[in-house]
Chain A
């Protein structure tokens, strides 16, 4: 509460923007970019596999499991991500402590870095969003492709991996890019469990210098630049990956 009061006081007193300080803290905050990338990319990679497995379970309507998968996807997509972070942050240590007690693993939950819980939470979230994207990608591939793969004697995993996936990737690439950008922005929620990613760092820089607006402008510029770079890379990749698939005559 004291911190909030000092912030309010800061807001009422100083009404000019210190441009040179934006530049200074831009580079200071930029040092936190690697952690933001870790919190963004690792959950997407783990989430891709969770998503692929749940998408296949839902597509093949595996008994009982597909209902669980449906609920998992709909529940995580229907609740705020900041709650996923908070729930995992409180629930996972309890769960690990209980399991460790029962099986005598001797794990001290206090020694597990908070980052692990953050990555676990975001991976689960990413899995739910990935599941929908991968499902739409698989459904977009012509059924005949799968049949042709079977006809030449491929097994189902082979057909999915070699025939369906490469074509589906081209279709879902824009969605994957959007998800990356979404998760880049979502990674700011790690700040709520005191991770020193871009926003956490910006907040520290802001509190130390009592210049909140400048620090958040600098952080915003970093996120904006990252987003634009991601969009450019996607546009380039999309051209390459879908090159085989061009319509027209030229």
Chain B
């Protein structure tokens, strides 16, 4: 600490921190992309009650939901190189970003798979039966009929999770990634004005969250434009 609090410094730090917002957003986007596909892979065996695979998926989801993301980050950082060594892949010298994206992909996959499961479960069973009656195959019925309806139901929950993950990415600095938070840490060491840096970071995260919330609210309205409500029916 030592130095006097100087509010003007917050303004001075903002552009320096903002320069690293793309890194933070890249971590988020990449993790959501990989996490989304992985989530589908995890949800499918549970939806179709595939023996063994569905139990494995359940344990995986329970573990991820039962442990702090900071621990997951350390587990991947120290464990993934050892695990991939079994397949003669050496990733121990890979960029820390790799481990961070791997962690958040694995983590978001578990949460999204639960969202997908709940959403698919809430699609009227008659929709699937109607699809079969119209001659669609199981795969077609799932992809064309059930999934689009489930997506609308899942959207608000998924949007909340995305905002949660954005905030979680602030932990990436603990394995040495230079995202917004990492840049903040270097500013703290360079200037010793920790409080101003952290307040600046809080302002940026808050603004990004507000923008995301507004964007998701618009997207939700657009997604639901086909939904008929009792009032308009």
**Residues in A lying within 8 Å of B, measured CB to CB:** 4, 8, 11-12, 14-17, 74-75, 78-83, 86-87, 90-91, 93-94, 181, 184-189, 191-192, 199, 202, 212-213, 216-217, 219-220, 223-228
Contact = CB atoms under 8 A, between A and B. Distances in A.
Contact of B81 (A11, A184, A185, A188): A11
Contacts of B72: 220
Given A17-B82, A79-B206, A199-B70, 19 more contacts: A11-B78, A15-B82, A78-B209, A79-B202, A80-B170, A82-B181, A83-B198, A87-B195, A90-B1, A184-B68, A185-B67, A185-B68, A191-B70, A216-B74, A225-B66, A226-B66, A227-B67, A228-B62, A228-B66
A166 B47 CA distance: 36
Contact of B194 (A16, A82, A86, A181): A86
B170 A83 contact: yes
A74 B206 CA distance: 9
A93 B1 contact: yes
Given A94-B5, A94-B195, A223 B209 contact: no
A90 B62 contact: no
B71 A199 contact: yes
Nearest to B79: A213
Nearest to A211: B78
Interface in B44-75: 62-63, 65-72, 74-75
Most buried by B among A12, A82, A212, A217: A82
A79 B65 contact: no
Contacts, number: 113
A87 B198 contact: yes
Given A83-B201, A216-B75, A78 B210 contact: yes
Interface string B167-200: 1101100101000010000000000001100110
A16 B82 contact: yes
4 cross-chain pairs, A with B, having the tightest CB-CB distances, nearest first:
A227-B66, A185-B68, A78-B209, A80-B170
B85 interface: yes
A220 B206 contact: no
Nearest to A221: B67
Contact of A223 (B67, B171, B202): B67
B209 A219 contact: no
A155 B66 CA distance: 43
A189 B163 CA distance: 18
A224 B67 contact: yes
18 contacts: A8-B92, A78-B213, A79-B209, A80-B202, A81-B167, A82-B171, A83-B170, A87-B199, A191-B70, A192-B174, A199-B70, A213-B79, A217-B75, A217-B79, A220-B75, A223-B67, A224-B62, A225-B66
Given A78-B209, A80-B170, A224-B62, A94 B1 contact: yes
A75 B204 CA distance: 11
A74 B210 CA distance: 9
A91 B205 contact: no
B176 A4 contact: yes
Given A212-B74, A227-B65, A91 B202 contact: no
